[in-house]
Amino acid sequence: MTGGPLAGLTVVEMTGHRAGPFCGALLADLGAEVVKIERPGVGDPARSQGIGPEGKSGYFMANNRNKRSVTLDLKTEAGVEAARDLLGTADVFVENFGYGVTEKLGIGYEAVRQDNPDIVYASIKGYGETGPLREKPGLDLILQAEGGIMSVTGPEGGEPVKVGQAIGDLTTGMFAAIGILARLVERGRLDGDSPTHDDGDERAEGDRDGVDTEDDRDGVDASDAGGATGFTGKFDVGLYDSIVTLLNEYLVEHSMDGSVPAPQGTSHQTLVPYGRFETADGALVTGVPSDDRWGAFVDLLGREELREYPTNRDRREHAGTVDRIVEEALTEESTAYWLEALTEAGFPCGPINDVADVVDYEQTRARELVVPHEDPDWGECLLPGHPINFPDHEFAIHRPAPELGEHTEAVFAEVADDQTTLEEWTEGGAFGE
């Protein structure tokens, strides 16, 4: 963004793979200053997964553009102290460590809150921070299966399959971003001209001559740490939570009649017709969203026998017959013919595009959903744009995905009280070798 609605917001993230980085990328795209803390010599595992230059795959680039990267070794006292000082002046912290890891490292919520009572602390986990599975590790595939979304995905009558993209990771990243914005509004920081802290230096001060013990850091009483307002900035979201939420009306209907839906291909759980239909030279997807449009749909297809099913209830009871007649009609003309005819008649429809088609699609270009990018380590490539269109802000990738630790010196030179502190952190192994 040029400026962007989150300009002035400072975010520190300590995340890897996709859910946490995607959350940070959304905030960075909207103008927030996002600093990514990575482990020295290793970094985000996504750096080495997939196509791309060494240490910076396309997978990593998509979810880490517009960020700065620093390295910290949190197994050293100097590293913990540097992290705490950095977090002491931040608005938001995003982490997706395993359950209880941040507390062991000395950067758990109560420890960070001691320095920065106003911080918004977003914790992303496989199963969240409560419940019997909270300590269990999770991957998107596992959570798609366990959370039920696989059970309704796949060809009708076939075996369950995962959604083609990591829907649990991406959805959790979005939910985390929503949670952050909700906490910021609650905190009242977005109501002013700038959401940044103007008292960060005072909050970052205190008993920081040395590194506190783990007991001292994590034994803070929540009511005391919140200051006069009692603000609690911590929240957590799990991939399991996100995927179960995506089941939506399936959960309600199950409670009503005990139904347990199975994979249904491209068909809809309530609407008929709705799905993929063959044409004379390919296929398309279409559907009829309401009964009052059914007559016009029958007129367009020219199949009078469809008038026997005027309501969606009728069509659901005879779904096989209705779908067969609709497809017979559509196979009489080309995909292009039907897309134009259906669109002109006001019926939802579309081609079945692959990735290459989407990149070249006129709507993609018009909305700048895929943008050209010049990466210093790869050269010309494309990156995803931002899905929210703000008419008063122009989207821009103002910073390529960073090399590991690229901004360590610059960031901590700003954080350190003086050059001596920076040198002590360096000598103490805070930034790795």
| Token pair belonging to 31 | 């103008």
Q: Is 60 helix (H, G, I), strand (E, B) or coil?
A: helix
Question: Would residue 26 be called left, alpha or beta, if left means φ above 0 and alpha means ψ between -120 and 50 degrees?
Answer: alpha
418 tagged catalytic: no
Closest CA to 363 of 343, 377, 333, 337: 343
Q: Which of 85, 118, 169, 218 is catalytic?
A: 169
The continuous run of DSSP H or E covering 182 comes out as helix 167-187
What is the distance between the alpha carbons of residues 305 and 205, in angstroms, rounded to a whole number? 79
Closest CA to 19 of 216, 236, 234, 343: 236
The continuous run of DSSP H or E covering 350 comes out as strand 349-351
Chain centroid to Cα 334, Å, comes to 38
What is the distance between the alpha carbons of residues 230 and 278, in angstroms, rounded to a whole number? 60
Mention every residue, 6+ apart, whose C-beta is less than 8 A from residue 178: none
Q: What share of the chain is helix, strand, coil (3-state, %, to 5)?
A: 40, 15, 45
What is the distance between the alpha carbons of residues 112 and 114, in angstroms, rounded to a whole number? 5
**Concatenated DSSP letters of 352-363:** ---HHHHHH-HH
| Token pair belonging to 79 | 């590293």
User: Residue for token digits 């006292």?
Assistant: 77
Active site residues: 169
